[in-house]
Structures are given as structure tokens and as C-alpha cells.
Structure 1
Amino acid sequence: MSKKKVSSETPPSPIYIFRGHAEQINSLEFIENNRYLISGDAEGNIIIWDMISKRSKVQFKAHNDGILNVVKCKDKLISHGRDNTLHVWKFNQLSNIKDGGNKEESIKPEISLTVNSINFCKFDFCYEESHIEISDKRDELFIAVPSAEDSSGIDIWDITNQKLIVSSIGLDQNSKTGYCMGIKIFSNNTFQNLQSITKNYFILAAYESGSVILWSIIINTNELMSKEKNNFAVEKLWDRKEHGESVLSIDLSSDKQFAISTSGDNKIVKYNFDEEFRKEPLIKSTTIKYAGIAEVKIRSDGKIFATAGWDTKIRIFSSKSMKPLAILSYHRESVYALAFSRIESMDEQDRDKSTEEGKDLGNEERTEKHYLVGGGKDQRISLWEIY
């Protein structure tokens, strides 16, 4: 849609509606340079949609209970279910299976981990390629999930080695945060020697109490394969309680300069970080008329963000001013999931076009589309074109 359309009296309309789920939609994500869309529902089903044909390419039951989150990292698809499991799938295996059919029995995860799913908190991941020139170098894929010991804490798993490397973050702080409701994990290793074995990671965590806390975790990556524990140090950097109800969602901008949280209340909060993340963030907030914002997503260029409301509305805001830009009305029941297509720089587009994978998937045709999708209780996925 153009800015003119947003400000006009005629409400914008979705450009397409995906129908294929029979249950509430909990997770949405664009992958493969926006060529495909992944959706996960409350019955544990995953659908991979082709964004050119608008048809489902793959459909299978991934979990015995509802999907909390599905993401793609390199050649892996990672799904988190309400059945207390996290599965890692080989994406090529899934993409070679035709839609639906009788081939579900042939779809098996490459890795399965038992994790905590009691509090509906979606996992998050951090991936870093190894820069150490040694023969056995391995990339690092870390997963952050609520702790199996207590839902107020956070565990970090090393997926590459299938090992729990940090456990129960926050449980020794004697704070009454309640359940962990949202997690973003990211690194701050640009300030370090790329060959350093000591890495600094951060976890931005949102809690049932309405608090948002930033944790710093120092990990000795050289000892990940060892059987020794406590190869890490955890520090709470700051704690802000801006919400009066449980935080339901938190998202981090691609450049890691700010984050936005939403809650069971009607407040939307922006946290502006300093370069090293150690000072308390500058806070800016706004409110909407109706309480209950199930999810927030920041577009990859950081210019706008969207919220999914219990009141059935999808709202678009300016990230800089926090002012509302548009209200998208289509769904008749609560919206629980959102996803923006990734907007790439010219350098990123040129790099992707040079890969064989990009050529096969036709990324040249898709990278310029500024899409937003929303889904929820009505089992439908609305597709919008956003300026």
C-alpha cells in the first residue's frame, strides 16, 4: 500500500488470504528470501507456502501439540511445540516432499530435544559462523528457551553439539518475575577478537510480572564439548518494569539498536540501547484503545513495526515516532502471529543472487516485495503489501 492509501478514508484490504489450517495459527515466518512462508498451528501442523503460486508446497504434522514457533536457520528448520519438544529438521528433506499426501511418515527430525513449553514462550536462536581457521571448526547455533527446572529461568542449548550449556538464567536473583514470556538472544562479539574462545551473548527476556530484563552471558566456547559445567558467567545488566500486565511479546531490531514489547495491557514500549547495552535503555511508549497485544514484529529495515491485537486488528506504527500509521482490519477473531518479509540492501541482494540456492528459488523476483502477514484464531492468514 502507498502512504496515500494509508491516510485515505478507504480502509486497506489484504491482497490475498491463505486458507489451509483447521486450527488457530500461532507462528508465521518468511524464509528463503521471501520466496516461502512458514505457518504453524495449534494442532502441531506446519505448512510451507509458495509465495509465487500462493499454494502450499509442504504440509505435515510436526508436533503432538500446538506449534509455538518455527524458524529457518541455514539448512535447518527448527520447530518448538507445546508437547515440550524442539525439533530440528533438514529443510531440503522437507522441500522435496510434495504437499500433504501420505509421506508424513517419511518426515523425521534430525534432532529432537526435550524443552519447556508450559508458559507459551517461543524459543529464539543465535547463529554465528566460525571464523577460526582450524580443521574441525564448527558453526555455533544456540537456542534459548524457558528453563526445564523452572519456567522463570532460561536455558541455552548448543544445537551443534546437542548440549545444554547454560541453565536456569535468572533463578538465583531472588526476584519475583513470574514465568518467562518472551526471549531474544543475540551476540555482542563484534567488539572482540573473532578468534577469541570467550564469547559474549545477551538475552533480552520478558516476564509475567511486566518486567523486561537484559542478561549478559559470557561463554567459553572452547569447552562446549567438555563434560564440565559452569563454563559461563551470567550478569543482570538492567531491569525495567513498564507494563502493568504480563508481557506477551518482545522483538529486537535487526541492527540491535532497540526493542519493542507488548503486553496484556494496552501499552507498547520501545527500549533504545546504548552501543554496549550496559546502560539502562531510554524508554518511549504509546498506548492503544484496546488492551491485549499478542505479538509485535519489527520490519528488517527498522522503520516500522506491527502489532497483533486480541481485538482482531493489526496495527502499523513508525518505529521512530511510535505514531500509528495504519489499522488493518480483516480478521474476525484475535490475531496471534505476524511476519514481515525481509527488506534487503542491494549488497545483500547481489550476494544472494550469487548463490545456487538463490537462483533455484527465484529470489530476484521476490526481494522487493514489502509484505506483512497476520494470522490467528480464525485459521486464516492475511497478506498485505506495506510501503
Structure 2
Amino acid sequence: MSRPSPTPIYTLRGAAAPLNTLHFSCQEGSQPLLFSGSGKGSVHVWNLDSRRAERVLDGHSGSSVIWVSTLQSTGALLSQGRDMRVCLWDLSEGRAEVSDSLWTGSVGFCQCSSLETGQGAWLLACPGEQTEEIKIIAFPSKKVMCSLLPDAKLGMVMCLRLWQPDAGPGPLLLAGYEDGSLLLWDVSQRRALSRASSTCPEPLMCLAFDPQRMRGVSGSSDNNLRPWALDENRNLQLQDPVALVNPGVSQLCIRGDGKLLASAGWDHRVRVFGWKRLRPLAVLQHHTDMVLGVAFSDHRDPRRRLLAAASKDQRISLWSIYNEGPDTG
């Protein structure tokens, strides 16, 4: 017999605005938290034990928050708003203060990407003032390391993923563009190493990357997920697309153990796939409007790992699925 359709273990309400993005923080010895960014400019800090927002942060002057993340080394929170600012929050000892901020000059919807390089030191990849520009900025100095501009006209930069390979120089950056192109950049050499162009010229709305397997996947406004891989020479290799029932993907997320992929759909649904073969596992139906963000928790106890989905319907659904077994396919 097939498994029954999953249901959320609970739903978070109270943001009073569309919810664009999510980020879990489940560090050992700390309270498990979920951060969400809303369309009215606030960041909610959700206590996953009480299932309530323990703090609401307002630092973007009412402009939509499109990305939230945390720094593992310091516990600081990062938030990016459509006010063209990235804010660094000090949440230690009950604080809720913006300790630093950066003006990006970008008016688009491209989310930033961060990479920690040492205790309190990190890099930020963010869209720049020019349409196709990506800036790499070192913190805490806020020095602009480089500005990456492709040789060809690819349109607006849409999505970013900054990462450090295990071997060789780095860091490297994956970037998706408005014309459907995907580029791999060598940040230290300030040059593009490889480019892959989709047969469908839709903007790349989102991407997810697994540095252990050197594989990734991107989503757009059409009805396909497009997997790809990096070969030993760091060339991007497109693989066969995976068809979706309905078009439109807002975000993609790979679980930390590399077993699951979740997609946030414009059709109000979250789809879960086995990451190894991109085999469909579940369709999660709960929301009444577009799902805009998905995130997996990183809790040390596998039984307490969750999948969260943020929607335009102003709710966050939390799910406990496929937390047992050696492989999901």
C-alpha cells in the first residue's frame, strides 16, 4: 500500500504578510529557531518549541525581506531587503540590534550568498548596481574583493551560490541569469570557468548545489527542473530535465544529508524528491497561495529534522518527513 499523503505537524501564523524566505538555526546547546523574512520588511524569529515568534525585527523600512541566513561562527543574523540593504543583526543576550549594514544598489530579487572564511570573517556575494554585476565583499572590513561581469549579455543575475571546494583554490560561485544561462566563476581569478545555456530561455529563478556530489539543479518559470553537474575539469554539464505537473519554482533546497530535494511551487505545493535520482517522493498540499521558500533544518537528531515552507498566504508549514531509512532514492 502507498503511504498516506503527509500533513504538516503544525503551522506558524501571525506574520500578517507574504513570507518570502526561511532559514533554520539548530546549533548544539542553543534553542532551535526558524527565521522568516516577510513582504512587509520584518524578520520573525520563531521558537520551534513554543511555536511562537519570540522576536520581530524591523530593519528594512517596510521593504520586502528576500533572504535571511546566520553565521555559524558568531550566531549573527543576516537579512537582505528590497531597500537595497543587507543588515547584520546582533541577537546575543536578548539583543535585537542592527550592528552593521551594507548598501548593495540592487533593485532585483536575487538573494545574496555568504561563505564563512574564519572566526567572524566571511564573504558575501550580492547583486550589484549594474544588471549583470555580482560583487564579492569581505567582512568585517566590507572591502569589495571583486566585481564579476560576464562577457556576453545574459540579462539580470537571478540566483547565486558561493562555496569553497575541498581541493584547489577558491572560492567558486555559481550564478544563474535572466536568459537561462548558468555560470561557474572562479572568484580569486575573477573569471568565468564554465557556462551552460538551457534550451529553454526562461530566467533561472533559483538553484541548489551539492558540493559533495558536485551536482546541482535549477528551477524557472516553466515546468521543468534542470539538473546539472561539474566534471573533473569544472565544466558544467546539463542533464536530462525532470518534468513537473505545473510550471513555476520559487526556490530549491537540498537537505544536509544529501538525500532529499524540496521545491517551492507556484501551484501552492511543495514537492519532495530523492536527490540521488530525482525520483518524486511526495507532494505536500497545504497552502492556498504560491509557496515562495523552503528550508530543511540542520538538527543533530535526525528525528527532529523538519522541512519548512513559506507561502504568500502568510503561513509557514512545518513537516517531518523521510527522517528514517538509509536511502530515499
The verdict on a shared fold, with TM-score over 0.5 as the criterion, is yes
SS of residue paired to 1:368: helix
What are the Cα deviations for residues 219-268 of structure 1, in whole angstroms up to 9, with x where unaligned? xxxxxxxxxxxxxx322111112243111111122526211110011110
Q: Does residue 1:109 correspond to 2:98, yes or no?
A: yes
What is the rounded CA distance, in whole Å, between the counterparts of 2:264 and 2:167 in structure 1? Answer: 36
What is the rounded CA distance, in whole Å, between the counterparts of 1:108 and 1:68 in structure 2? Answer: 19
Tell me which amino acid in the other structure corresponds to 1:164: V
Runs of 5+ in structure 1 lacking a partner? 98-106, 130-137, 193-198, 219-232, 345-365
Q: Does residue 1:375 correspond to 2:305, yes or no?
A: no
Q: Does residue 1:162 correspond to 2:142, yes or no?
A: yes
* Alignment CA distance shift 1:271-1:379 (3 Å): same
What is the rounded CA distance, in whole Å, between the counterparts of 2:224 and 2:99 in structure 1? Answer: 41
Q: What residue in structure 2 maps to residue 348 of structure 1?
A: none
Contact 1:81 1:117 in 2 (8 A): no
What are the Cα deviations for residues 319-346 of structure 1, in whole angstroms up to 9, with x where unaligned? 11112110000001000011101254xx
Q: What residue in structure 2 maps to residue 144 of structure 1?
A: 125
What is the rounded CA distance, in whole Å, between the counterparts of 2:68 and 2:263 in structure 1? Answer: 19
Contact 1:253 1:299 in 2 (8 A): no
Q: Quote how far apart the aligned CAs of 1:11 are.
A: 2.1
Give 1 or 2 for the bigger CA radius of gyration: 1
- After TM superposition, which residue ranges in structure 1, 4 or more long, deviate above 4 angstroms? none
Tell me which amino acid in the other structure corresponds to 2:229: N
* Alignment CA distance shift 1:39-1:375 (3 Å): same
Q: What residue in structure 2 maps to residue 49 of structure 1?
A: 46
Runs of 5+ in structure 2 lacking a partner? 323-329
What pairs with 1:118-267 in structure 2 (closer than 5 Å)? Answer: 118-129=107-118, 140-148=121-129, 150-167=130-147, 169-171=148-150, 173=151, 175-188=152-165, 190-191=166-167, 199-218=169-188, 233-242=189-198, 243-253=200-210, 255=212, 257-267=214-224
What are the Cα deviations for residues 96-131 of structure 1, in whole angstroms up to 9, with x where unaligned? 15xxxxxxxxx43111110033110000001122xx
SS of residue paired to 1:200: coil
TM-score, normalisation: structure 2: 0.90
Aligned equivalent of 2:239, options 261, 283, 286: 283
Q: What residue in structure 1 maps to residue 327 of structure 2?
A: none
Q: Quote how far apart the aligned CAs of 1:273 are.
A: 2.1
What is the rounded CA distance, in whole Å, between the counterparts of 1:306 and 1:17 in structure 2? Answer: 18
Q: CA RMSD in A?
A: 1.8
Q: What residue in structure 2 maps to residue 309 of structure 1?
A: 265
Q: Quote how far apart the aligned CAs of 1:281 are.
A: 2.7
Q: Does residue 1:85 correspond to 2:82, yes or no?
A: no
Q: Quote how far apart the aligned CAs of 1:203 are.
A: 0.8
Tell me which amino acid in the other structure corresponds to 1:245: E
Between stretches 65-74 and 243-252, larger displacement belongs to 243-252
Q: Quote how far apart the aligned CAs of 1:282 are.
A: 5.1
What is the rounded CA distance, in whole Å, between the counterparts of 1:257 and 1:331 in structure 2? Answer: 33
Contact 1:301 1:343 in 2 (8 A): no
Which structure features the higher share of helix residues?
A: 1
Which structure features the higher share of strand residues?
A: 2
What is the rounded CA distance, in whole Å, between the counterparts of 1:179 and 1:256 in structure 2? Answer: 28
What are the Cα deviations for residues 357-382 of structure 1, in whole angstroms up to 9, with x where unaligned? xxxxxxxxx56312101011100000
What is the rounded CA distance, in whole Å, between the counterparts of 2:97 and 2:91 in structure 1? Answer: 11
Q: What residue in structure 1 maps to residue 12 of structure 2?
A: 18
Q: Quote how far apart the aligned CAs of 1:139 are.
A: 5.2
Q: Does residue 1:40 correspond to 2:19, yes or no?
A: no
Contact 1:141 1:160 in 2 (8 A): yes
Aligned length: 315
SS of residue paired to 2:239: strand
SS of residue paired to 2:171: strand
What is the rounded CA distance, in whole Å, between the counterparts of 1:275 and 1:48 in structure 2? Answer: 41
What is the rounded CA distance, in whole Å, between the counterparts of 1:157 and 1:254 in structure 2? Answer: 22
Q: What residue in structure 2 maps to residue 350 of structure 1?
A: none
